[in-house]
Structure 1
Amino acid sequence: MQSRLRGTAMTLAYERRTIARDLTVDIPDHSFTVVIGPNACGKSTLLRALSRMLKPAVGAVLLDGEDIQRRPARAVARTLGLLPQSSVAPDGIGVAELVARGRYPHQGLLRQWSREDERVVAQSMAATGVADLADRAVDELSGGQRQRVWLAMALAQQTPLLLLDEPTTYLDIAHQIEILNLCARLHEEQGRTLVAVLHDLNHAARYATHLVAMRDGRVVAAGPPRDVVTAALVEEVFGLPCRVIDDPETGTPLVVPAARRRAASEVPA
């Protein structure tokens, strides 16, 4: 059975700059898929294609078996939500108003704003820890606070598929774990399919059910973290010598970079 979201034989490019050729990616249904790889390997470009923001020059992204580019934007927005890497809020907009925009795909001529919409917005703000910021202007907030507000808006869409481009950007370590725990709950308790781009390999290995490792615009490996995160693959993809051990908390793979070799002058006598 085919998954709901997949990219087939894609060439992804910005004007004359090609990022990836013949790229095929299958997102398992009800998975927490994390895309990993070095800077400029095509991770965010892939997410833009999967979210309909970038049209493949060749190939296609299929959503429920249909080319996503041929589907109406509102219909796509009711199925697939996106937290982009960098978002700019309209000047002066308030937190609650911005989060409420996540409900727009559900509005129409026969369905206007409802108590259900109010409930979902309040629930989304509570889940991301921004309820106490509801009356604040978004442009007054710190980077971490704004990131959580944007995530609340994405949650308010209530889509079965949610794409997250570096959702932990600007967050301190405590809030990173808080957001990733929230993502894990959405996956485990609500059955949502999540696709996230993460830079932290150990976070990816701990939270993902499915990993996609990229380098130079191609998929090097894909599968469960235990199969993908090996010392050989980390060195191949990132050029990082390391050991991979079991995380003492979760049993998932834990990457330990090789120690820097100290010069003889640095070694204590």
Structure 2
Amino acid sequence: MTATNRPASCPATRLRAENLTLSYDQRTVATGLGVDIPDHSFTVIIGPNACGKSTLLTALARMLKPRAGQVYLDGAAIASYRSREVARRLGLLPQSSTAPGGITVGDLVARGRYPHQGLLKQWSADDEAAVVEAMRQTGVLELADRPVDDLSGGQRQRVWLSMVLAQQTSILLLDEPTTFLDIAHQVEVLDLCAELHARKGHTIVAVLHDLNQACRYATHLIVMRPGGVIAAEGDPSTVMTAELVEDVFGLPCRIIDDPETGTPLMVPAAPKRYPLDTDTDTGTPSTVMAKTS
């Protein structure tokens, strides 16, 4: 599929983009970019560094204004909505989130109710119930009175996700939600996202770096190459091939079935093996270091 248009056979979706030109820091990242996010999917966007993954996500969230083209939400240009209305329809977890010093978990999650507040509508029992339910879903309810600064990385990420869930939107955009987390906490956060998708029917769009995690969790995969070009998209079982990985990432590999899930598992080609140099004095082998240019 080209970057300029999506196939005519693609059905209408709640969130889509047409013919986007995106720039960041005076640099054009993508031209003629178009995507459709399938409703109720767990869509994962992957691609090499600086190919425009996060830039696309921020444009879908209306945090970045395209130089050309349009993002559409529920059939209307997203730019036509008021900010509060957008926040009632989709939630965004940015790549880097910083909590005010000393704020507690409960108070931070409560900020997710901002789109539902107004001059005539103050904090209500519905708001309280939404905050409690969001914290319960993410397993941080018992941390409600703890300062966010005191939490581990995995706990903090769950709290930020809880704040987004408190918005009570059915579309969640997550920009590298596993960044800076160890592998156990990465799996913890992604398992939670998968549960929200499966049990609650959320449409989730996440930018990830790990190809194997992307294939394990995604129901719809979007692969981007430098220049904001869509290299491939669809079900991971058909999209993820050794040829694609080498073409887009420059990495020779094999694709096998994940023994746990049956999803594609990317195994990088073995590194070049260097022969051992035998020490002529002792007759024992010594390691030969590869020369770098």
Pairwise TM-score range, normalised by the shorter structure: over 0.9
1:194 aligns to 2:174 (yes or no):
no
Tell me, in whole angstroms, the C-alpha distance in 2 between the residues paired with 1:88 and 1:185: 26
Could you list the runs of 4 or more consecutive aligned residues of structure 1 that deviate by over 4 angstroms after TM superposition?
266-269
* Aligned partners of 1:147 and 1:170 also within 8 Å: no
Tell me, in whole angstroms, the C-alpha distance in 2 between the residues paired with 1:177 and 1:61: 31
* Aligned partners of 2:20 and 2:68 also within 8 Å: yes
The aligned residue for residue 185 of structure 1 is 195
Tell me, in whole angstroms, the C-alpha distance in 1 between the residues paired with 2:88 and 2:80: 15
User: Structure 1 residues 69, 5: CA separation in 2 closer, same or farther (over 3 Å shift)?
Assistant: same
The aligned residue for residue 57 of structure 1 is 67
Query: 1:173: Cα distance to partner?
Result: 2.0
Whichever residue aligns with residue 102 of structure 1, its letter is G
Residue number among 223, 229, 239 corresponding to 1:213 in the alignment: 223
The aligned residue for residue 262 of structure 1 is 273
Secondary structure of the 2:262 match is coil
Tell me, in whole angstroms, the C-alpha distance in 2 between the residues paired with 1:187 and 1:50: 19
TM-score by length of 1: 0.94
Query: 1:156: Cα distance to partner?
Result: 1.0
Query: 1:25: Cα distance to partner?
Result: 0.8
1:245 aligns to 2:245 (yes or no):
no
Instruction: Please report the RMSD computed on the Cα atoms of aligned residues, expressed in angstroms.
Output: 1.8
Moved more, 137-146 or 176-185: 137-146
The aligned residue for residue 235 of structure 1 is 246
* Aligned partners of 1:144 and 1:170 also within 8 Å: no
Identity of aligned residues (%): 67
Query: 1:117: Cα distance to partner?
Result: 2.0
Moved more, 162-171 or 47-56: 162-171
Whichever residue aligns with residue 184 of structure 1, its letter is A
The aligned residue for residue 105 of structure 1 is 115
The aligned residue for residue 21 of structure 1 is 31
Residue number among 76, 80, 85 corresponding to 1:75 in the alignment: 85
Query: 1:141: Cα distance to partner?
Result: 3.0
Larger Rg: 2
1:140 aligns to 2:137 (yes or no):
no
Query: 1:249: Cα distance to partner?
Result: 1.1
Tell me, in whole angstroms, the C-alpha distance in 2 between the residues paired with 1:54 and 1:192: 23
Structure 1, residues 175-211: CA drift from partner, whole Å, max 9, x if none? 2222212111211122111100011111110110000
Query: 1:266: Cα distance to partner?
Result: 7.6
Query: 1:260: Cα distance to partner?
Result: 0.6
Q: For residues 109-188 of structure 1, what are the structure 2 equivalents within 5 Å?
A: 109-188=119-198
Moved more, 30-39 or 84-93: 84-93
* Aligned partners of 1:32 and 1:184 also within 8 Å: yes
1:90 aligns to 2:104 (yes or no):
no
Q: What is the aligned length?
A: 269
Structure 1, residues 217-258: CA drift from partner, whole Å, max 9, x if none? 111001000111100001111111110001111111011111
* Aligned partners of 1:147 and 1:169 also within 8 Å: no
The aligned residue for residue 41 of structure 1 is 51
TM-score by length of 2: 0.87
Whichever residue aligns with residue 247 of structure 2, its letter is E
* Aligned partners of 1:187 and 1:194 also within 8 Å: yes
Tell me, in whole angstroms, the C-alpha distance in 2 between the residues paired with 1:172 and 1:14: 29
Whichever residue aligns with residue 145 of structure 2, its letter is D
Structure 1, residues 27-84: CA drift from partner, whole Å, max 9, x if none? 0111100000111111000000000000000101111121111210001000000000
Tell me, in whole angstroms, the C-alpha distance in 2 between the residues paired with 1:201 and 1:15: 27
Moved more, 212-221 or 86-95: 86-95
Query: 1:140: Cα distance to partner?
Result: 3.3
Query: 1:146: Cα distance to partner?
Result: 2.1
Secondary structure of the 2:50 match is coil
Whichever residue aligns with residue 106 of structure 1, its letter is H
Tell me, in whole angstroms, the C-alpha distance in 2 between the residues paired with 1:105 and 1:16: 31
